[in-house]
Chains A and B, each alone.
Chain A
């Protein structure tokens, strides 16, 4: 895959390049400051962009802004946003234009190389990768509601769904069969009153929309 990286910290930039090239991806361009990001994305049109949230010159949320601007110009461009802390608001902004090809992960996750690469590929393929911490925030923020009626296993399934995992992965992570996964998910949708949907990003969107609803 061709990747554009935007990261101001030289150490992390090098690390990401090393990681991606060592598994056979091509790094088309690296951007070290906020204003460089959008032109690089428009010029190289990568298969996926890996963007840091906080970048110079303002050290605020330049990377996120660039990601949103890029998605406006190139709606199909998959972006994986990395950050040292996760903010529910940022997730909502990123997902605002659709959950297709969007990822938002803590930088910590990069260390789990295989999982990180899996998330990257998922995003590049038009899927979703949401950090478990974001999902936890979304789940704990709510008061009493239908979520309380979920069993712990159903909650777990909901959590993984919201992260953007597919049924096979959910089954593997929960050590249960595909059939059991389908049953849990069916129950979740039933209890939350959501229309049943397939396993694609539409499902993630439905779940996230539900969780985002105040």
Chain B
């Protein structure tokens, strides 16, 4: 038992020593780097070095980054990087490199680490010698716990603590980095939203152009022909054959059919843009109406959506569309008899869940409308999650950010 104890202590000390050895290696490397740095600084004073200044700073960042990763592996806690990206013309890059507080934090670390990186390794080497003697006797002969070797592990912890303190960006830089990340994320989602919105507009234009407009023109044409026939009938002189009343009647009947079809199509288009029932009943009422017409036994639960101000029209329309599609899918494909819809008012927006008791296995590439739902949600910077294992059940969660 004491043997395994010792073996574990040895293994741990071994790993810690490797960590410290790498640190010391980096400290030595930084010795070389300081030479490069000094050269750059001196050369910068006589202008030529300005060209390599940004590259030198990038090298410094890479070294600090390597240390961050090394320390992160030891402690399991990642240290965030927060640098000003060095982009633009040479002058801009130099200016950014010089103005970035991260550059000076890295330099400070470089100098301090040169000292403690080496010292900690020396201390570890010393502890190995003492540990081999003391713990060898202490554990192997007396069966006690190792006392010296674990100190090497403490040394590695110390290295981690100091390095973390030195390399962690200032709170301000960290906030900036978070904001930059958020901006990047928003840029991507906004591009997606704009694309989705464009596709939506084209769909509506196509629906109106090919459907309703064409029908109305055709209807107008038939009314025009009927009118012409009527005028002829009035003007038909004796001996002239008046136009066949059946023909006129048919023209008018066709015209009326087309007027009705145009109205039906318009209704579809309007429903695609903003379902009228949302205006009349609000989201919860509209979803209840969907549930009632779905052919499934659907329970609708509202967690605060009906109370207080309403969500923006676009958010309500997207939510309605998602619920409608999800329930249609559940009724058509899942074989479920029951489903549940939950709507909730969250601080950041509207949350909704649609779940059924069906057979699952919903596939986004299968064209079951999931892609359309996702697009509609993405257009509003929302997120959608589909869980649908084979064998079921299917659960769709959507979050639509909004202010209410």
Contacts and interface: CB of A to CB of B under 8 A. Distances in A.
Contacts of A65: none
A146 interface: no
B281 interface: no
A205 B224 CA distance: 31
B228 A114 contact: yes
A54 B221 contact: no
Contacts of B224: 19, 110-114, 116
A84 interface: yes
Contacts of B210: 9
Interface string A109-137: 01111101000000000000000000000
Given A18-B225, A54-B209, A84-B209, A11 B220 contact: no
Given A9-B214, A11-B215, A15-B221, A113 B228 contact: yes
Contact of B214 (A11, A111, A116): A11
13 contacts: A11-B214, A12-B221, A15-B222, A19-B221, A84-B213, A107-B213, A111-B217, A111-B219, A111-B220, A111-B223, A112-B224, A113-B224, A113-B228
A9 B213 CA distance: 11
B27 to A, nearest CB: 66
A87 interface: no
B251 to A, nearest CB: 9
B218 interface: yes
Contacts of B206: 59
Contact of B220 (A16, A22, A59, A108): A108
B209 A15 contact: no
B108 interface: no
Interface string B238-261: 000000000000000000001000
B161 interface: no
A110 B227 contact: no
A116 B223 CA distance: 13
Contacts of A116: 224
Contacts of A19: 221, 224-225
Nearest to B229: A22
Given A16-B221, A112-B224, A116-B224, 8 more contacts: A11-B215, A12-B218, A14-B218, A22-B225, A54-B209, A84-B213, A110-B224, A111-B220
Nearest to B243: A22
A112 B223 CA distance: 9
Contacts of B217: 12, 15, 84, 107-108, 110-111
A64 B223 CA distance: 28
B205 to A, nearest CB: 10
B228 A111 contact: no
Contacts of A113: 221, 224-225, 227-228
A16 B258 CA distance: 15
A88 to B, nearest CB: 19
Nearest to A114: B228
A114 B221 CA distance: 11
A64 B222 CA distance: 26
4 tightest A-B contacts by CB? A111-B220, A113-B224, A107-B217, A111-B224
A200 B217 CA distance: 31
A63 to B, nearest CB: 13
A14 B220 CA distance: 13
A51 B218 CA distance: 16
A111 B215 CA distance: 12
B17 to A, nearest CB: 70
B221 A110 contact: yes
Contacts of A11: 214-215, 218, 258
A11 B318 CA distance: 33
B265 to A, nearest CB: 12
Interface string A57-71: 001000000000000
Contacts of B228: 113-114
Contacts of A15: 217-218, 221-222
B225 A12 contact: no
B85 to A, nearest CB: 41
Contacts of A112: 224
Contacts of A108: 217, 220
